[in-house]
Amino acid sequence: ANVMIGPINKLNAVMEMYPKGIAGFRRYLDLLNMKPEQEDNPNAIHVEKLKGDIEYKNVVFGYENKDKVLNGVNFSIRAGETVALVGPSGAGKTTICSLLPRFYEIDNGEISIDDYNIHDLTMASLREQIGVVQQDVFLFDASIRENIAYGKLDATDEEIWEAAERAQMTTIIKSLPEGLDTLIGERGVKLSGGQKQRLSIARMFLKNPAILILDEATSALDTETEAAIQSALAELAVGRTTIIIAHRLATIKEADRIFVVTENGIEEEGTHQELLQKKGAYSRLHHAQFDFDYAGA
């Protein structure tokens, strides 16, 4: 099946998105690979497959005309490792992650993947190797098939079903009036929050990036739906470098390492047990924010 999304559809989609605000619009253009301002360096290298080692060295960044949000962030993540970023709202967790696919350019310091400075990689090789799952899942006004295939535009039906299976959404698709051909989005069937997340996970199985960023992907879902999706997300993370921004203790505890992000940068790092024993920022955050989870567990 040929499921290319044509230029007219792209344009329609962009026009529809524009009233939803600049933040959404930016993300949108990016999804469509239409953001022109970050261009390849003249000598940029195209790397087909990255391993996914990540290093941030003294990364300084501020949004236009504003104070610096990051004042020298340092960390490294080994390929295949799962790291959870925790910290107060506004500390810069999302910002840290947005710099990796070059949604924004850093003011100082260096970010590298597998020892390549990200500026020395082509935008295509960089973005093909980074998958982002967020709270808002962007849906095209198109069929389920086209929406899943956004992860890999030339995917066959077989590949699409396999991705759907791994995202645990085949039952959902089979229950829809026209299966994969069912139209979703503005003018089609409305999907629930959990169903959208599964679709977004299916896209990622097709895209198969070396690096996965889960930015509060399930935080808008009710506890039951969230729990149901965790296993699909866990399977998605296997064999990839995964950065999770989350506030549910159950998710954070599973991470290989936890980074505590505050206005001072990465204030602490370690496993859940190590950080609790330290009785520092993580331990304080833990008591302030996670009591609810214990009560509900």
List residues near ligand ADP by CB under 6 A.
23, 63, 66, 69, 87, 89-95
Asked if 77 contacts 53 with a C-beta cutoff of 8 angstroms, the reply is yes
Closest-by-Cβ residue to Mg ion is: 94
Which pair of tokens denotes residue 271?
A: 């496993």
CB of 285 to ligand ADP, least distance (A): 12
Residue number with CB closer to ligand ADP (74 or 156): 74
Q: Which is nearer to Mg ion, 88 or 193 (CB)?
A: 88
Nearer to Mg ion, 206 or 233 (CB): 233
| Residue 63, contacted partner among ligand ADP, Mg ion, none, CB below 5-8 A by kind | ligand ADP
132 touches, from ligand ADP, Mg ion, none (C-beta below 5 to 8 Å by class): none
> Residue 169 or residue 213: which is nearer to ligand ADP going by CB?
213
Q: Least distance in Å: CB of 221 to ligand ADP? A: 18
* Partner from ligand ADP, Mg ion, none contacting 69, C-beta within 5 to 8 A by type: ligand ADP
Min dist. Cβ of residue 209 to ligand ADP (A): 21
Angstrom distance (rounded) from CA 112 to CA 126: 11
Q: How many residues does the chain have?
A: 297
Q: Segment contacting Mg ion (CB under 5 A): 10-18, 94-102, 118-126, 138-146? A: 94-102
> Minimum distance from CB of 250 to ligand ADP (Å)?
20
State CA 3 to chain mean position distance: 23
Q: Which of 59, 77, 94, 252 binds Mg ion (CB under 5 A)?
A: 94
Cα–Cα–Cα angle for 229, 231, 234, rounded to 5 degrees: 110
> Least distance (Å) from Mg ion to the CB of residue 51?
26
> Minimum distance from CB of 92 to Mg ion (Å)?
8
- Sheet with 130-134, strands from edge to edge, namely 130-134, 211-215, 241-245, 82-86, 257-262, 265-270
197 forms part of the interface with Mg ion (CB under 5 A): no
Which residue's CB is nearer to ligand ADP, number 85 or number 160? 85
- Choose from Mg ion, ligand ADP, none: what does 92 bind? Cβ within 5-8 Å by kind: ligand ADP
Q: How many CB atoms lie within 10 A of CB 58?
A: 14
Minimum distance from residue 95 beta carbon to Mg ion (Å): 8
Stretch that binds Mg ion, among 31-39, 63-71, 86-94, 229-237 (CB under 5 A): 86-94
Residue numbers at the binding site for Mg ion (CB under 5 A): 93-94
